[in-house]
Structure formats: C-alpha cells, structure tokens
Chain A
Amino acid sequence: MQASSHHSSALAHHFDSFEQQRESASLGMWLFVAQEIMFFGGIFTAYLVYRVKNPEVFALASSELDLTLGGINTVVLILSSLTMALAVREAQLGRGKGVVSFLIATLVFGGIFLGIKSVEYSAKFEHHLVPGEHFHFAPSQEEMDHLWETKGFTPEHIDRRAEMFFSIYFAMTGLHAFHMIIGMVILLFFFRPAWRGRYNADYHNPIECFGLYWHFVDIVWIFLFPMLYLIGRA
C-alpha cells in the first residue's frame, strides 16, 4: 500500500504490507536456520562423544586430511560468502546487473569448493580411507611406532577407530556438500528476476533469505574445518 503500485505484484495477496512480508520471510528463514543447527547438532554430538573416547586416533586420522586443500576451501567459502553479501546489497539498491555478477561469483566459488572437495574425496577412495570393507588406515610407520610406544595401540585398534573418524568425516562433509549443491541449484533461480530488475528496496527478501542460508552453510564449514582438519596439528 505504501509501496509504489507497479511493484505491488511482488506483494503476496495475504500480506498487508511489504514490511510484514519481509519480516515474515526473515523470521521464517531464521527458524529454518534453527532447525538446520539442530540437524547438524545431532551429528556434532556423535563427533564429540567419539572424539572424547578416542582423542589420539582421531588426531592421527585427522592428519590424513589435506590441510592445504581444506585451507584453500575455507578461503574460497569465505569469499563466496562475501560475494553473496554483496549480491544482497546490490539487490537492496535495485542494481540488477550487479546482483547477477555477484551471484555468478558466488556460484563460481561454490563450484571451486565442490571441485576441491571431490579431489579430496577421490584421494580418500584411492587411499582406502572410505569406511566399509576396503577400509585400510596406514599412517606413517613413525606415527604408528609413536602410538605403539606411548599408548600401545596396535595397528588393528588404530584401524577400527580411524574408520569411525572417517565415518563421521564423510557423514559431516557429505551433508555439508549436499547443502552446498542444494544452495547452488536454488541460486540459479535468482538470475532471471535479478536480470529483470525485480529486486529493490521494498522487495528483496527472497535473495536476502537465500543469503542467510548461504552464510549458514559457510559457518558450518568454519566449524567443520578445525574439528576435522586441525585436531591433529595443535
């Protein structure tokens, strides 16, 4: 009503004002993020329980992960979050072309992340670090000797506990990657309306909500990275 009439089609029939629509969308999105936190919370709990039970093997297994690739991925994701935030800003300013370019950047960073992730995954396949029948954990002889001398862990003991670590690693990073893929698919749907200049100061909540989702997925990685990659290197 307070909005200019040619945008009123963006106001859904059951809302009275853009303000109500925007607040509803953002509250809804926060609730969605809350349920996502609980969703990841379950698997974080499992991680916590088993890491407390097997600190040494978790640390050793963690050092099998590629710190460089993980580190690059962290930077890539943070950059994608930045471009996403800029895309939202461009939308608020009603600059459709700017939105499109930043969305492309976000998509590219997301693609790089998944590319690097798949390189990491295939390395794990080659090294028999995927849980299941062919799992075989072979850290350096030096490490094995060290655990043998200080803790007296046999290779078999290490192998079984490491399989647990990689079970959790694949479950966590797999879920995270799945969230990325979903996000990138949804992102594609923003190009058309952005290009056509649908977003403006009154109406930008879809892209704002999506930004919230994207940042959330980013933050999950910010937790996953130290929990999975860094525990062996403190």
Chain B
Amino acid sequence: MSNAKSKERPEGYPDRHYLNAAHGLKSWFLTTDHKRIGLLYLLAITLFFFLGGAFAVLIRLELATPGGDLVQPETYNRLFTMHGIVMIFFFLIPSIPAVLGNFLLPLMIGAKDVAFPRLNLASWYVYMAGGIFTLWALFEGGLNTGWTFYTPLSTVYSNTAVTTAGIGIFITGFSSILTGMNFIVTIHRMRAPGLTWFRLPLFVWSQYATSLIQILGTPVLAITVLLLALERTLKLGIFDPALGGDPVLFQHLFWFYSHPAVYIMILPAMGVISELIATFSRKRVFGYRFVAFASVAIAILGFLVWGHHLFVSGQSVYAGAVFSVLSMLVAIPSAVKVFNWTATLYKGAVSWETPMLYALGFIGLFTIGGLTGVMLATMGIDIHVHDTYFIVAHFHYIMVGGAIMGYLGGLHYWWPKIAGRLYPVFLSKFAAIIIFVGFNLTFFPQFILGYLGMPRRYHSYPDEFQVLNVMSSAGATILGIGYLIPMLYFAWSMFYGKRCTQNPWGAKGLEWETASPPPTLNFDEIPTVTEEPYDYTPKEVQHAG
C-alpha cells in the first residue's frame, strides 16, 4: 500500500530535483551542491550521534547501581570522555549549522548555492578526517581525561590516546571555521534582490551569530589543543607547573572557546524555534528585531563569560564577580527570546504538528536550562553545585532539551523540503512525546542529585543516591527508544514516504517558494522579495485593512 502511495505524484512535483539530478557515489562524494553536502553531514552526524548515544547508554547502565560493577573505572572514564567528545565536537556543534544550515541557508536567502561551494565540500572532508582520528583514538583504547582535557592530568599523568583525539578535535575545528566563513559571506553577499537584513528569516540571523563564534572562538581551541599535543609529544612546558607553567591558563584558554561553543549549539536551535513558532502560529514572530539582535547579543556576551567555569579554581573574588555578572547578562537576551516566542503564540493560529511539539517542548526545557544556568552563575550557589550532577543536568537541558529538540524540530519541519516526502504523522508525534518524557525523567533527577552533592564523572557512588540514579537510567532507556523511532521513519521516508506538495505546512519563506525537493540550483528563477518576513495575513485582508 505504502509502495503505491510512494509513487503517487502530487501536482507540481518536480521530475528533476537535486536528489535525482545525478547518480552514483561520485555524484555524492564530489558534489558541490549545498543540499547534497547537507545530506552528507546528516549521514555522518547521525552515525556519531548513534556512537555517542551508545556511550551514554553504557554510562547510565553502570550508574544504575552504586557499586562500580559493570565496567572497570578506567573503562567508565573512557566512556564519559568519548561520550563528551563525540557528542559535542562531532554531533552538537555541526548538527544544525552543517545539516540544516547548509541545506537551507541559500534557499532561505534566494541564492543558488553558498558563496564557496568547494570549500563547503572540503569542510565535510575535514570533518570526516577529524572524525577518523577520533575513532582511531578509540581503537587505541580511548582516552580518560574528560572532554575538558584539564592539565596536568592530560599532559603528564594520562597515558591514553590524548594526542590522537586532540588532533581529531583540532582538525574538526577547521570544518566548523570553514562553515562559519562560508555562511557569513553567503549572508552578506548572496541575498536575493529586496531581501534586506530585516527581512531575513530569524534562522538566518541566528546562523550569522553562530558563524561569528565559530570563526572567532574555534581557532583558540585549536591552538590550545595543539599546545596540549605539543606538550605531550615534544615535551614543551607551557602548562607544566614543574617549569613554572600554569595549569589554570589551560582552563582559561579552553573555556574561552568551549563556553561560546555552547552558544554554537543553542543559537541555531533558537533560530529553528523562531521559524517553527512563526509557521505553526501563522503569525509574524513578535518583536522580530529584538529576537534577531538577541542572537547577536548572546554571541558577543558569550565571549566574555568563560571565567564562570573557574569559580572554585582559586580565581580571585573580583575576577569571579566580573564573570558572574557578565554571565547573568546572557539571561537577558535569552529571556527576551522566550517571552517573544510565547507572545507570538498569543492570538496565533496554532497547529499541533510534530515540529511544533518539539518547539513547544524546547521553550519549556530551554527555560529550565537557562534559569538553572543563572543559578550556576550565582557564585554562592556554584561553590556547592560546581562539578556535581546539577551542572550535568543543567547543560543537558540546554544541549539535549534545547539543541537536540531544536535540531529534531527543524528536521521534522524541513523534511518534506529535504526528501520531498512525508513521515508518519502519528508515529512522529508519539516519538516527540516519548522523547520529552524520557528526557525529563533522565535529567530532572540529576538536579536533585547535584544539590545532594553527587559529583560528576563518578564511576561509583554512595547508596543513598541510587533511587534517583535508577530513575535517570530508566529515563535514558525511554529517551534512547524515543531517538531510535525518528531515525527509523526518516530512513524509511527518504525512499518510501508519501510524496508531498511543494509547501505542505503553508509556510512563508523563500525556501518554500521552490519545488520540494528543490532543483540543483534551488530556484528556476531567482525570486525578488517584496514582503516582510512571516507575512501570514492574506493580501485581501491587508488591503482591506
């Protein structure tokens, strides 16, 4: 039945599109089409997500009992280190920019491609090269330093594959830089006629802010990891206390990138949410300019707050206070976004399609993640909860509840554009709810565990923490199943899903003004923009008004 359905062609379904424009492996691995490169990324990051998720499952299995009885401590240390490295550098950071951003940015601004298509393809190969190094580190036995690589543990005391993984991260960083450069130039130079800055979709604004961080932050991580690798291999002594070096300098350099990196993960998700809220409320985002500038404000402030990771590292009270108050300020543009999204729903025409379920879930989870972030920026609270499960819960609310919800919401929203096909409605709503429930069950108990004092990165723990840990592990099981369902139906839909019309959601935005799936050069004719963004009010009503 589905087979017959999948062959049905709705009116206007294109004969030729980017998916069938060329065939064979070469047409994929040597493509310069941003849409195909987006799909290459989609495939690669899904594999890494699966890998990182497998590590997470093992971690939660180990923590189901207080004694360290499933794996050895050294194995456990390798598991959470690899979970962090794979999820952050190989899934979260590239997820929305490299998959959805790559696919949509030129479509959204009415361009034929990104500014540097070959560089775009190169960025995927660079990413894969970094990924291969990191997998190689896994075959060397993994590494046990935590994804934060704190010295001197990582330089002097660890005899695991730190250098190999460091090289992997160093290389992958450049794929992120190349993507960021490409996007900024594309947004500056490739917009369609009439598409002024304030007519840009908010997703584009957030991608712009993200790209700034990618370009200015990633190189600092690159040099830091490089110095770490040199220190291990050539015995340079830049972070070695024995030579008068300072291990805390490493923490400063590391967090100068790695804190803004959080915004690389969350800003694009915020952009996706703005699109979803507008489309599924059929209404212009309330306070459009404030939401747009909030993205830029978060990107800039994000560079000034790294010291809040060092409140208990012996930093002076004054330095701590400065970093504390600057970190608090990030809450303001974040709050502005949340309030504006909520206000957009007011008097909207809200439909509860699958992507919208993710968007609504995102607002709630991001609010919790953000406000617990404000608590962590409060120095008097941070002392106690620093390096406990409270922080683990907080950043998972931001990264999983925020970034991954945004990514999945975006994938469900633009899937008809990407594949030209639909996915099962009921199953997808079911999966969205499963993920929401599983997520909260996994991570909410960790807030309580954190205030109770359970430190993070613990292989075994006192008995009284067990009930909450079992809840968390149970939630992780549900969450894991929740993630598997979309993986399966997306894979199915790519080949067998029902073909969709050009604009199944009735959405605004240039990406919906071309065929689904789009032709290789995106538009048969480059559109000229005359409308404000998200202009859902019908023309006749506008004229009457």
Contact = CB atoms under 8 A, between A and B. Distances in A.
Given A39-B222, A131-B236, A171 B216 contact: no
Q: How large is the interface on B (under 10, 10 to 19, 20 to 34, 35 or more residues)?
A: 35 or more
Contacts of A54: 244
A28 B211 CA distance: 12
Nearest to A16: B526
Given A131-B235, A132-B235, A164-B237, A35 B243 contact: no
A127 B226 CA distance: 26
Nearest to A169: B236
B238 A46 contact: yes
Nearest to A54: B244
Given A46-B249, A49-B246, A132-B234, A41 B220 contact: yes
A131 B237 contact: yes
Contacts of A36: 219
A12 B115 CA distance: 10
Given A35-B216, A42-B253, A24 B222 contact: no
Contacts of A49: 246, 249
B465 to A, nearest CB: 39
A31 B238 contact: no
Contacts of B115: 14, 24, 28
B260 to A, nearest CB: 11
Interface in B195-245: 215-220, 222-224, 226-227, 230, 234-238, 242-245
Contacts of B494: none
A151 to B, nearest CB: 15
A132 B233 CA distance: 10
A161 B241 CA distance: 11
Contact of A27 (B185, B216, B256, B521): B185
Contact of B189 (A24, A41, A160, A167): A24
A49 to B, nearest CB: 6
A50 B244 contact: yes
A39 B253 CA distance: 11
Contact of B244 (A13, A42, A160): A160
A111 to B, nearest CB: 25
A35 B215 contact: yes
A162 to B, nearest CB: 10
A43 B224 CA distance: 8
A177 to B, nearest CB: 14
B117 A43 contact: no
A53 interface: yes
Interface in A110-148: 131-133
A20 interface: yes
A160 B243 contact: yes
Contacts of B246: 49
Interface of A (DSSP majority class): helix
Interface in A19-41: 20, 23-24, 27-28, 31-32, 34-36, 38-41
A168 interface: yes
B111 A43 contact: no
Do most interface residues of chain B lie in helix, strand or loop, or is the interface mixed? helix
Interface in B411-470: none
A55 to B, nearest CB: 13
Nearest to A162: B243
A49 B119 CA distance: 36
A57 to B, nearest CB: 9
B181 interface: yes
Contacts of A28: 115-116, 119, 181-182, 185
B521 A171 contact: no
B129 to A, nearest CB: 16
B217 to A, nearest CB: 7
Nearest to B223: A42
Nearest to A44: B223
B521 to A, nearest CB: 7
Nearest to B225: A42
Contacts of A175: 226
A165 to B, nearest CB: 10
B522 to A, nearest CB: 9
A150 interface: no
Nearest to B186: A24
Contact of B236 (A24, A31, A32, A167): A167
Contacts of B249: 45-46, 49
A90 interface: no
B31 to A, nearest CB: 13
Contacts of B256: 42
Contacts of B253: 42, 45-46
A131 B239 CA distance: 13
Contact of A39 (B112, B113, B189, B220): B220
Nearest to B184: A31
B151 to A, nearest CB: 12
A172 B65 CA distance: 49
A65 to B, nearest CB: 17
A31 B214 CA distance: 11
Given A42-B227, A164-B245, 14 more contacts: A14-B117, A27-B189, A32-B181, A35-B177, A41-B219, A41-B223, A42-B222, A42-B253, A45-B249, A49-B249, A131-B237, A160-B244, A167-B236, A167-B238
8 contacts: A13-B112, A14-B114, A24-B116, A24-B190, A28-B115, A45-B249, A53-B244, A175-B226
Interface of B: 111-117, 119, 177, 180-182, 184-185, 188-190, 215-220, 222-224, 226-227, 230, 234-238, 242-246, 249, 253, 256, 521
Chain A to chain B: the 3 pairs with minimum beta-carbon distance, closest first? A42-B223, A39-B219, A167-B236
